Every structure is written in structure tokens, then in C-alpha cells.
Structure 1
């Protein structure tokens, strides 16, 4: 009898570091190169904040992100390796569960992470914790894609907490974790992009307004005490933590009115903060 192929029985630490780092460099790098260099002028009308961050802030975002990548990899490696692994629900034989369940587990991870992120994020804004941990991420008042992983090491551990949380609560395959990780970095980069790519009128559509936008998280960096959500605009609505001018600011950014108003007030554009 031919035994089923079992993949991911042993995943080297170096492979985990490389895969997380590569995703970050490719997705954040393409976004940064496209919107902050190659198409900077073409897309300026969608810029959420008028100026561009100082090079020192961008370098800081990148360097803290490298530390975060290593910490994420350590947590993932621990979950995939005995003795921790044997207590989790991680399965390495893709045939142990149906492909339907495989995709359900990816979606479940995303929904679980959205809830986990909202409440851990609000906790890190508690003034007794904020100045020791979350203030690093908020040094990016006007974030770029490189801010997606720009965390204090302690915050990196908190962010990585979704991995053991999912692994201990539901059966999940390493490939499903990888797809979740891909979705996470894409949405994280989008949230820190600094440009609004979603169409004007989206927040007036009841089928689309549950999803967060670049403006939503950008306003969180700008104002701090609002817009705590990650992927979906559900917990912010329930807890009434959306910024009062969120929809107005989104419409201006998505329609190009934000840039038009800025240019009417000042002849100096593309300025670095």
C-alpha cells in the first residue's frame, strides 16, 4: 500500500525566516517602489496625508521590521516543532481533512486574527503600556509600506500570538498558515500604504463597507485614539471607535479631493515632513 505523502513534517528555522522575510520584502518593496518612487506623481491625488515621511523614519520602519521577522519566525518554528507541536492541532498530512475544511481554516484564521488584533491593539494603547511597547509603531505618524512590521520586540511577540492561538484551537495545516500569512501582509501593507486605492462611494455600499480601507488605518496613525481594527470595520463599529470623520476623509482621499484641497492651499507638494 502506498502511504500518503506527508509534507511539512520538519520545517527548518532558516526556511521560516526566509519565507516571512521574502513576503515582506517583495510585497512591501513593490508597494513602496511603486507609490513612493516610480508612480509617485501619477498617484499623488490619492495620497491620504500631503507630505512624505523623513528618510530616517522610513529606515527605522525597515530596521524594526527585520527584528519582527525573526521574532515571528521563532514563534512559528516553536509551534511547528516538538515538544510544542504535539500539543497543537497542526496537521501535516493534507489528506487528514478535506480541501473544503482547508479553506475554511484559512478564513477562520483571518476572522480570529481580526478580533485578536482589535483587542490586543486597544490594550497596547493603554497609557501604562503604550510608551513601553506600541509607541515604536506610532513613530510612523505618516506610515509607508515598510511600517507593516515596524514593531517593538514585545509588540512583535504580541502580534505573533495569533499563531499559537490558532494552532491550539483548531486543526490547521502549515500551508493554510502560509496563505493566511500572505493575506495578512498584503492587507497590512495596504493599511500602511499612505494612498487610498479603494473607490469613492465604497463606504456607502452595504456589501463593501464592512471592509477596512487604507484611510482607516492611516487615520489611526495620525490621530491614535481611534480606528483600531485590522481587516474589517466590525469591532470599531460595535465599540464606536471609528473616527467621527472617517467616511468624510475616505471620500476625499478616494476621489482625489484631498490632494486638490492641499494644492489649492499651497504650491508646495511632495514635501518631506
Structure 2
């Protein structure tokens, strides 16, 4: 009974979003910006670093966004709307292969929605009123993952509940998608590229977004609107033409200039 009372507490969606943000964004920031900053220096996408005031601004807006996400999550789960969704709790209701397939479909739907929503709020009037807060992070950090105007936070949050009315989804898939979504957001705003060397020559590079991909969006304020995939940007010709060149520059710094990098870093320390 105590477990059920906790599960149905209206604070659960808010607390889970806040804890997830603080743990994932906090660990990414701690590892890359603090504990191993020298090791990750060659992975840096933009040469300059954000300042403490930028981090504090991003954290403030992100915490407010978690409140919005929590309210929307509560409204969907604990209202009568949830009864009309296609969430199924019994694993045997659908074959096991449907779990990964439904997860992939949710990601595709979410990515499609995000592309067009994101592109729309880049129109001059909406950008100034809604999206400008997020783009104050010209050189974003992991703390910027949820740094939205409250209207944008609503727009970001509603796609998952909408998707649950479209296709049958198990709660495990919902949980996995929310973690994948947030991980991509932290990774996209990391400010450092961390993909392995083999990624560049794999088919995944042709379809997946990277930290360089989204960082270019923040630096240039247009193009590269997708969330997970490059599909819509390539179809609509909105992909930044310098993306591949910029990605290769970072990879060259990481994997082909290690000796010169170490020498340069040593000379900096000696000075």
C-alpha cells in the first residue's frame, strides 16, 4: 500500500524529472568540465568556455522546465486522459519484438515532431518570445539540456503523451525513451564531442545527430533542427553545410594530432 501511495503521488513526475536532470547533467558536467577537463580539452567543439553565470542561468531555467514536465506528466497519468491511451501493462499483450519496434517508432515520431516544432519557433516572432532563452547558451553546457521558456517546455513535453494515443507502448518503452531523449539532450549540449573513432566511418554517422551537430545550431542559430536523426534536415536542406567538415576537424584533433596536442598543452602549462 505504501508503494502504491508513493507511485500515485503527484510529486513523482516532478521529482523523477528533477533527479534525472541533476544526476545526468551534473555527472556530465563534473566529468567533462571538472574532473577530466585536461583529458577532454581536445574534444572541445568551441574554443571558448561558458562562464559561471551561463551555468546558473541554464540551471534556473532547466529546473523551471522540470516543473512544467512534472505537471504535464501528472496531468496525463492521473487524469482520465490516460484511460484512452494505448499503454499496455501486460507484456504478453504484444509480441516481444514489438518492444524495440515501438520504441524506435516513438523516437521517429518524436524526432519528426521536434524538427517541425523547433523550426517553427525559429521564426522571428516566436524566436524572440519563446526560443531566445534557450539560445542564450551560444556555447551550451550539459546544464542547458532543459533550459527553456515555459511555453517551449510545454511544446517539448506534449509529444510523448500524444504518441501514446497513436501506437501501443509498454511502460518500459516509455521509460527507455525518456532516458534516451534526455541523454541526447545532455550529449547535444555537452560542448564536447565524445563519439568513438569508428563512428565516423559507420552508417550511424549518416543518420544520427552528434554533439557537434547540435552545437553548430547553437553557434549559428539556424539549421540542424533535428533531435535524434539527420533525416529531416537533409530532406528539407536545413543541415549546416559545414557540419561534416567541422566534425572531421574535431575528430582530427582527437585522434590524429595527439602528440602535437600534448606538446601544446605542456607548453601552455609551462607558461
CA contact 2:110–2:160 (8 Å) conserved in 1: no
Aligned-CA RMSD value: 2.5
Alignment match of 1:228 (pick from 225, 229, 232): 225
Counterparts of residues 88-237 of structure 1 (less than 5 Å): 88-200=85-197, 202-237=199-234
Q: Which structure 2 residue ranges, 5 or more long, are not aligned?
A: none
State how far apart, in whole Å, the 1-side matches of 2:183 and 2:213 are: 15
Displacement after TM superposition at 1:73 (Å): 1.5
Tell me: CA distance 1:28–1:249, structure 2 relative to 1, closer, same or farther (3 Å).
same
Q: Deviations over 1:104-162 (max 9, x none)?
A: 22221111111111110000101121101000000000000010110000000000021
Q: Which residue of 2 aligns with 1:14?
A: 11
Separation in structure 2 between the aligned mates of residue 201 and residue 176 of structure 1, nearest angstrom: 28
* Superposition deviation, residue 251 in structure 1: 0.8
> Is the contact between residue 199 and residue 255 of structure 1 (CA under 8 Å) also seen in structure 2?
no
Q: Which residue of 2 aligns with 1:78?
A: 75
Would the aligned equivalents of 1:32 and 1:144 in 2 still touch at CA under 8 Å? yes
Asked if the contact 2:138–2:218 (Cα under 8 Å) also holds between the matched residues in 1, the reply is yes
Which structure is richer in relative contact order (CA contacts within 8 A, separation 6 or more)?
1
Deviation for aligned residue 1:79: 1.7
* 2:43 counterpart of 1:46: yes
In the alignment, structure 1 segments of 5+ residues that lack a partner are: 1-6
SS in 1 for 2:129: coil
1:115, 1:235 within 8 Å by CA — same for their partners in 2?
yes
Query: For 2:130, what is the secondary structure of its paired residue?
Result: coil
- Alpha-carbon distance, 1:71 to partner: 0.9
- The answer to whether 1:65 aligns with 2:67 is no
Q: TM-score, normalised by structure 1?
A: 0.87
C-alpha distance in structure 1 between counterparts of 2:204 and 2:65, whole Å: 35
TM-score by length of 2: 0.88
Once the two structures are superposed, the pairs formed by residues 17-28 of structure 1 within 5 Å of their partners are 17-28=14-25
Alpha-carbon distance between aligned partners in 1 of 2:100 and 2:24, rounded to the nearest angstrom: 22
Deviation at 1:204, TM superposition (A): 4.8
User: Are the equivalent residues in 2 in contact too, given 1:32–1:145 (CA < 8 A)?
Assistant: yes
Q: Give, in angstroms, the shift of residue 222 of structure 1.
A: 0.3
Structure having the larger proportion of residues in helix: 2
Alpha-carbon distance change, 72 to 268 in structure 1, aligned in 2, over 3 angstroms: farther
Q: Match for residue 53 of structure 2?
A: 56
User: Are the equivalent residues in 1 in contact too, given 2:72–2:157 (CA < 8 A)?
Assistant: yes
